[in-house]
């Protein structure tokens, strides 16, 4: 168990106790907690656990904060001695039978990676990969590309053989440069979908990196590195496109929502430039052609570097707001809903016109 820790003192004991309470027995588990220069007493909590559980808990302390979980996780990999690695965050917890089920699946299927169902507590968690158990699968049959966080079981020999490490100094999607190569190199993968192995918990006042607006340069550089891995390992065609679709819709187009219009001018311009470069370099035209009209329009605007146009589009199509809980039960007048068909028609017309003038936004292969 590798746990990067930074100022998580209020929740750390709950996380550690969930590991100590594992049904497989604490005597079969090694905790490596890497204190990333915490200032809230987290290090003292860890040292107390290490004293109470010698040989079971190892504490590594950084003198200076690294700024992101990648560095501490990498130090944990270098320190670990067990057959398997599992990465937990200090504000989350494991289900009591999690490691027993995950290790059991790995040994039954000779799997190098095992995905255990993640339950969101006050926050979103992936659903698609956990609709059914999978034995002796791969990145495709496990739909693994839709869960790229590190909260999984990895055979340590796989990590050592391929020199897998997390991106350092990147505060969003830093796990992908470890997780995606692990998926692609794995001899076999399994999914434990019938048990909540990992509880991903929202904590009020505790910073979650997924909620941050990323610095464009390191974010897109990291995405580019991951896409390089994908295109190196998967030949062009429908199977590669099924993987690229994830980065296209989440990491690229996912940056261009209503909040994008509120960013500073220079930041917006950098996002558009770097996202457009990824579109042109990695996303084939046949994949873009399958997108809905609004997404195709966003791709076309990004590929041409039209900052103001995509800003206007993001502001024009805001995320729908939920109705107030105290609203009276009646059929309200919905001008936005009535205008939506007209807006869709305008989007389709603009997409066709822009496509005819500019040609396809993406490559036909890489």
pLDDT digits (tens, 9 = 90+) for 145-185: 999 999 999 999 999 999 999 999 887 888 999 999 999 99
Residue 293 pLDDT > 60: yes
Q: How does the average pLDDT of the chain come out, rounded? A: 89
Compute the distance between CA of residue 194 and CA of residue 131 in angstroms, rounded to an integer. 9
**pLDDT grade for 330, boundaries at 50, 70 and 90:** very low
CB atoms within 10 A of CB 177: 23
- pLDDT tens sequence across 187-210: 999 999 999 999 999 988 665 555
Residue count of the chain:
366
Query: Is the Cβ–Cβ distance between 156 and 84 less than 8 Å?
Result: yes
Given a cut of 50, whether residue 332 has pLDDT beyond it is: no
Neighbours of 294 (CB within 10 A): 16
Interior angle at CA 366, CA 295 and CA 359, nearest 5: 45
Please report how many Cα atoms fall inside a 13 Å half-sphere around the Cα of residue 208, on the Cβ side. 14
H helix runs in 110-258, sequence order: 156-162, 176-185, 216-233, 238-246
Give the pLDDT confidence score for residue 214 in this predicted structure.
83
Which pTM value belongs to this model? 0.87
DSSP single-letter state for residue 174: T
Q: What is the DSSP string of 76-133?
A: HHHH--SSEEEB--TT-EE-TTHHHHHHHHHHHHT-SEEEEEEEEESS----GGGSS-
pLDDT at 353: 64
Residue 341's pLDDT is 56
Provide the pLDDT for residue 91. Answer: 95
Q: Is the pLDDT of residue 349 over 80?
A: no
CA dihedral 307, 278, 129, 172 (to 10 degrees): -70
**First-to-last C-alpha distance (Å) of the chain:** 38
pLDDT at 116 over 80: yes
Residue 306 binned pLDDT confidence (cut-offs 50, 70, 90): very high
140: which 2 tokens?
A: 């495709």
What is the per-residue pLDDT for 282?
98
In degrees, to the nearest 5, what angle opens at C-alpha 16 toward C-alphas 189 and 207? 85
Helix, strand or coil for residue 46? Answer: helix
Count the neighbouring beta carbons within 10 Å of the beta carbon of residue 325.
Answer: 5
The answer to whether residue 328 scores a pLDDT higher than 50 is: no
More confident residue, 319 or 272: 272
Q: Which two tokens stand for residue 78?
A: 């270098």
Neighbours of 71 (CB within 10 A): 21
């Amino acid at each position: 168990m590798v746990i990067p820790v930074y100022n998580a003192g209020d929740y750390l004991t709950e996380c550690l106790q969930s590991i100590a309470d594992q049904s497989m027995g604490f005597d079969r588990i090694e905790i490596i907690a890497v204190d990333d220069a915490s200032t809230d007493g987290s290090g003292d909590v860890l040292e107390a656990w290490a004293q109470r559980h010698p040989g079971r808990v190892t504490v590594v302390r950084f003198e200076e904060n690294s700024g992101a979980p990648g560095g501490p996780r990498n130090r944990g990999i270098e320190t670990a001695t067990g057959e398997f690695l599992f990465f937990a965050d200090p504000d989350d917890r494991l289900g009591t039978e999690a490691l027993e089920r995950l290790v059991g699946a790995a040994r039954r299927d000779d799997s190098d990676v095992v995905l255990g169902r993640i339950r969101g507590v006050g926050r979103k968690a992936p659903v698609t990969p956990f609709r059914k158990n999978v034995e002796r699968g791969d990145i495709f049959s496990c739909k693994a590309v839709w869960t790229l966080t590190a909260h999984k079981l990895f055979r340590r020999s796989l990590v050592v053989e391929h020199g897998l490490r997390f991106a350092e100094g990147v505060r969003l999607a830093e796990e992908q440069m470890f997780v995606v190569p692990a998926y692609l190199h794995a001899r076999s993968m399994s999914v434990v979908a019938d048990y909540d192995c990992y509880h991903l918990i929202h904590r009020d006042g505790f910073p979650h990196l997924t909620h941050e607006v990323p610095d464009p340069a390191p974010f897109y550089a990291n995405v580019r590195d991951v896409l390089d891995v994908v295109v190196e390992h998967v030949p062009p065609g429908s199977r590669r496109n099924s993987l690229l679709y994830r980065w296209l819709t989440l990491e690229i187009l996912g940056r261009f929502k209503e909040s994008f219009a509120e960013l500073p001018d220079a930041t917006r311009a950098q996002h558009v430039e770097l996202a457009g470069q990824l579109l042109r370099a990695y996303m084939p035209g046949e994949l873009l052609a399958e997108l809905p009209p609004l997404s195709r329009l966003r791709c076309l605007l990004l590929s041409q570097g039209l900052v103001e146009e995509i800003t206007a589009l993001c502001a024009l199509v805001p995320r729908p707001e939920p109705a107030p809980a105290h609203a009276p039960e009646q059929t309200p007048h919905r001008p936005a809903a009535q205008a939506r068909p007209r807006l869709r028609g305008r989007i389709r017309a603009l997409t066709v016109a822009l496509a005819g003038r500019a040609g396809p936004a993406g490559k036909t292969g890489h």
